[in-house]
Amino acid sequence: MFSLFKSKKKTQPTSARVTILPGSEGEHQLQKQFSTRERALKFYDRQVLDYLSPVMREFIGRQENMFIATADKHGECDCSARFGNPGFVRVLNNNYLIYPEYRGNGVMASMGNILENPRIGMIFVDFFESTVGLHVNGKARIIEHEKLLDYGSELPRDVIDEIHIEGKRRPERWIMVEVEEAYIHCSKRIPLMKKLDKKIDWGTDSAIAKRSDFFDLENISLYDRIGGDAAIDVVLDKFYRKILMNDRIKHFFDDINITVQLGEQKNFLKMVFGGFPEGQYSTAELWASYQRLVANGLNDKHFDCVMTHLKDTLQELEVPENEIQTMMKMLETTRDDFLKR
């Protein structure tokens, strides 16, 4: 009934060894290299299923946390966590489960990956009773409320109820997963924890409630926040292309070694945005490097033009708008020094 993916036999590249064993060719290679093959074969035989057993289904129905791993089409990975009331992940049958996507930070990292690459790895860990984990790997699909409701009476009643909840607790959409592998994560190193009461403010945007400042990112320099040296290199390359194509200002750079100029400009931005430790870079040396430009007639209108090109460059590179505004304000404070006033 929940056949979202056409059933196909897995095709192997012509160069790969054909095997019916679970797992990847890489793990099989390492099992042989490190002499763990016999142990691994026992695990595959006794523990690995391509569906959810009755006890696995009951186990998932008691859990209130889950960790998920996804990757985009290039293989760039993301690991995230999902939380809800016990049983927030619903097992539909032996081969399918669904979980709700509640309102988050708006980044959509996991779902963005799923949109490009449906492969998903999940692990449920029971920290409070059995100290056992369950791995579930498979293929995922984003599914909206309306599509899910098409299944009607085949859905668990509590899923239908949750779709119709009003307010912050209502899921925004769902993820449906076709199970391809399920196996235990043994108990021996999982800590037994004690659950304490905590008020959950579902859907809040409060920075205090979310503890958004926990890692003290506000004290990281703007230069590092936007990506440091590597990011500024990209910005300057694009920025100077604009400068050298602008008839109003390109003549200021006719007799300048552009490689040297890029280095000086990089130091300028690094200084303004806090990339140098205090006292490491001399502002006197920096302003001296711009004296010739001012002597050749550089004025406020030219400064405005340069600022516009830089802002356009940052927007084209999708630097966050709040960071762009901060950068523009900081650069504006250098106007008088830059123009030798």
* Residues 66, 122 contacting (CB under 8 angstroms): yes
Distance CA 171, CA 103 (A): 7
pLDDT for position 8: 40
3-state helix, strand, coil in the chain (%, to 5): 40, 15, 45
* Neighbouring C-beta atoms of residue 174, cutoff 10 Å: 20
Domains and CATH numbers, the chain: 50-193 (2.30.110.10), 217-338 (1.10.490.10)
* Residues 265, 275 contacting (CB under 8 angstroms): no
* Torsional class of 286: left (φ above 0), alpha (ψ -120 to 50), beta (otherwise): alpha
pLDDT for position 17: 52
* Neighbouring C-beta atoms of residue 333, cutoff 10 Å: 10
* Residues 162, 100 contacting (CB under 8 angstroms): yes
* Residues 287, 335 contacting (CB under 8 angstroms): no
pTM for the model stands at 0.74
The tens digit of pLDDT for each residue in 282-315 reads 666 666 667 777 888 889 999 999 999 999 999 9
The tens digit of pLDDT for each residue in 219-264 reads 888 888 888 889 889 999 999 899 899 999 888 878 778 787 788 7
- 55-59, 128-132, 274-278, 332-336, range with the lowest pLDDT: 274-278
pLDDT for position 225: 86
* Residues 175, 142 contacting (CB under 8 angstroms): yes
pLDDT for position 293: 78
pLDDT at 214 over 70: yes
The tens digit of pLDDT for each residue in 156-205 reads 999 999 999 988 889 999 999 999 999 999 999 999 999 999 888 877 88
Distance CA 129, CA 194 (A): 9
* Neighbouring C-beta atoms of residue 305, cutoff 10 Å: 15
Among 102, 150, 164, smallest CA distance to 2 is for: 150
